[in-house]
Every structure is written in structure tokens, then in C-alpha cells.
Amino acid sequence: MQAIRSILVVIEPAHSESLALKRAKLIAGVTGAHLHLLICDRKHEHSALLSLLKAGLQEDGYSVTTEQAWNESLHDTIIDVQQAEGCGLVIKQHFPDSPLKKALLTPADWKLLRVCPTPVLLVKTSTPWAGGVILAAIDVGNNDAEHRELHHAIIDHGFEIASLAKAQLHVISAHPSPMLSAADPTFQLKETIEARYREQCKAFQAKFDVDDAHLHVEEGPADVLIPHLAHTLKAAVTIIGTVGRTGISGALIGNTAEVILDAVDSDVLVLKPQTLMDDLGALATKA
């Protein structure tokens, strides 16, 4: 978070209280990041609103620019502007679609999560971050280099947000159920599976001072366990990673990040491995 120099804030003109802008001001107030306000609008009918927001923010000491733009779709517009402005974070308020609409069309926010080459913060509530709980969700069962990098980024962002908001950082990792047919005896007993997962967590526990009371290693599917724990802890922010499944598999199966987005009662920060963000950035540049 501290390294982010510019934040793209998507403004929804139909909603008088911009929760996305509220979160952007919180982050920029600590990091000094520049704010670029974007209204995705074909007709450019919101100049007065942007001028009003800009004047208020400048009066409060923020560095701010504004823009109205449209390019075929909401997520394409956001990514075009993010690339042009070099923004290191996109903040947008999330408005859930109806189950019927989701069954027929891929939600715009899902598309944004899949292809945006920067972290995306989707704001869902007005719950203050200050003094609350930040929940970082990782999958230590995937221990290849890409996932290790992603785990580190998730916990690093969780640690920074917790420090910024004087909040508590909790970490969750879901593990699979025991399988008697597993070739590795470790995965035949719940106790040995949990022990292996906890062992994998020791390095980041030491680095980020996460004690056992704030580490949750539990059996079950991540898309069920993470929302359950977020609700139990009354988390203000849930931080998750995605490897950005796209195409038919993404449409039919659905990414865990997308399922969790609509299931948690908190803001959601979604991160990707750096290599994937670099690839997506290159694709966006060519588009």
C-alpha cells in the first residue's frame, strides 16, 4: 500500500455517498497517493459533480484529477484509464447483481477482477476499518513459487492495512478433507493435514507477528470457510488472491474470489501474482 503513488477511484453518480471515495481518502491520507476520479459515462454528463468533488478534495489537501470516459464496457473503460494514468490500485463500490442476471451474464465486477492488471479494492460496506479486523485468506496447500509470492503479497497488504487502520490481522487457510486413498499418508488424517498447513505458515507468522490465536487453519472449501470466518470476526476487509481464470472454465466454474466477493459482508481486496499482472498489463497495452 505504501508504494502506491496513484489510485483510480470509480465514482457512481447515482449514489450520493461514494464509499469508494471514502476508502480512497483513508488510504491516500496515509500514503500521500494521488487520486484520479473516473466516471464511466458515454455522454460526459457529470462534469459538475466531478468539479465539486475535486474542489472539496483539494481543499482537504488531496492531490486529485478527474475524468469521464467510456470504451465499450465498464471494465474495459476502467482498465484503459488505469493504464493511461499508471494507477497502482483500483477502488470501486460493489453493487451485487441478482442471481438471475448473474446466471445469464458475467457481472462487470467479476470481469474487472479477472483482467485488471493491478490490485482491486471492491467496497461493500461503510463499516470503519479503524480498530476492526482485517482477514487475509491464503492457500498454503499450493506452495509453488507463484503462489508463495501471492501469499506473501496478501499477508503483506493485510499487515499494512492493519497498521494503517490500527486493526487486528487474522489469517485463514482452508485445507482439504482427509482421503484414505491418498498416496501421501499426511493427507489421510485431519490432524496431520492441519499440522502440515500450520508448518507452512510458520515463516510468515514470524515475519508478520501473526500468533496462533490469529491463524485459522480449518477443514473445508475456501469459498465457504472464508465468508463464515469473515462474518464471525466481523471483518472490515477480506483480502484474497486470484490466478485470474478466464474463458469457458471461468464462466462455468467461477473463481473462488468471485464467489467470496458476493458472500462476505466486508470490503474485498483482490490481488494477483506479479507475473500475471505483468501479462495482463501487456495485453491491456496492446488492446
Chain centroid, CA 175 distance in Å: 21
Q: How far is Cα 210 from Cα 188, in angstroms, rounded to an integer? A: 28
Q: Which phi and psi angles does 171 have, rounded to 5°?
A: -125, 135
Q: How far is Cα 182 from Cα 284, in angstroms, rounded to an integer? A: 42
Counting residues of the chain whose pLDDT is more than 90, the rounded percentage is 50
Give the per-residue pLDDT at 181.
45
Residues with Cβ < 8 Å from 36, sequence gap 6 or more? 6, 7, 8, 9, 64, 65, 66, 67, 81, 85, 87
Residues with Cβ < 8 Å from 225, sequence gap 6 or more? 172, 174, 218
Decide: helix, strand or coil at residue 119. Answer: coil
pTM > 0.85: yes or no: yes
Please check the confidence at residue 253 and state whether its pLDDT lies above 70.
Answer: no
Asked if residues 76 and 38 have their Cβ atoms less than 8 Å apart, the reply is no
Taking the domains of the chain in order of start, what are their residue ranges? Answer: 6-93, 133-280
Q: Which fold has domain 6-93?
A: Rossmann fold (3.40.50)
Give tens-digit pLDDT for 29-75.
Answer: 989 999 999 999 988 889 999 999 999 999 999 999 999 999 989 99
Of 126, 154, 130, residue with least CA distance to 243: 154
Which CATH number is associated with domain 133-280? 3.40.50.12370
The predicted model gives 113-121 an average pLDDT of 90
Cell of 107: 457481472
Same fold, 6-93 and 133-280: yes
Residues with Cβ < 8 Å from 276, sequence gap 6 or more? 146, 243, 244
Asked if residues 14 and 43 have their Cβ atoms less than 8 Å apart, the reply is no
Give tens-digit pLDDT for 151-202.
Answer: 888 999 999 999 988 999 999 998 866 655 454 655 556 778 788 888 888 8
